[in-house]
Homo-oligomer: A and B are copies of this chain.
Amino acid sequence: MKIPIDDKLNSKNVKPTAMRELVLDVLIKQTTAISLSDLEQKFEKADKVTLYRTLKTFEENKIIHSIDDGSGSVKYAMCTDTCQCNPAELHVHFFCTMCQKTYCLNEIPVPSVSLPVNFDLQSINMVVKGICANCRR
């Protein structure tokens, strides 16, 4: 497996097993977020639970982040290299109701909201639904 992938895993303190290298390779190549069942289809031989735990491990170690896009299945996408998943660096996600794909809009930060008094903010999930540029044509 290619060195950059192992570097990525090592830099996030995740041991580079064959499974993890393969999964990370797939994740890196995605242009849209991917669900566990999407991943299952790409690895017909691999066990669902192993893929599940691989995603969980990646998420815990901030290699990827999970997105609840309201589609009923959680999607996952790469974090940026420096991402710490703080509220301040969250971005908007876009779910296309036509192709069902979920995009990270990394350029669009989640706007700050002023909460009622004594409400403390931990994180924000902002998902925009609509038609993506590909489907609109």
Chain A residues within 8 Å of B, Cβ to Cβ: 68, 70, 92, 94, 97, 105, 107-108, 111, 113-133, 136-137
- Bound-state CA distance A136–B118 (Å) is 7
- Bound-state CA distance A115–B131 (Å) is 11
* Residues of chain B lying within 8 A (CB to CB) of residue A107: 116
CB-based contact A115/B94 at 8 Å: yes
Contacts A105-B116, A124-B129 known; list 12 others, CB within 8 Å.
Answer: A105-B115, A108-B115, A108-B116, A111-B113, A113-B128, A119-B128, A120-B131, A121-B130, A123-B130, A124-B126, A124-B127, A124-B128
- Bound-state CA distance A130–B115 (Å) is 10
* Residues of chain B lying within 8 A (CB to CB) of residue A128: 113, 115, 119, 121, 123-124
- Bound-state CA distance A132–B119 (Å) is 5
> Closest residue to A114 on the B side, CB-wise?
B108
* Residues of chain B lying within 8 A (CB to CB) of residue A70: 68, 125
* Residues of chain B lying within 8 A (CB to CB) of residue A111: 111, 113
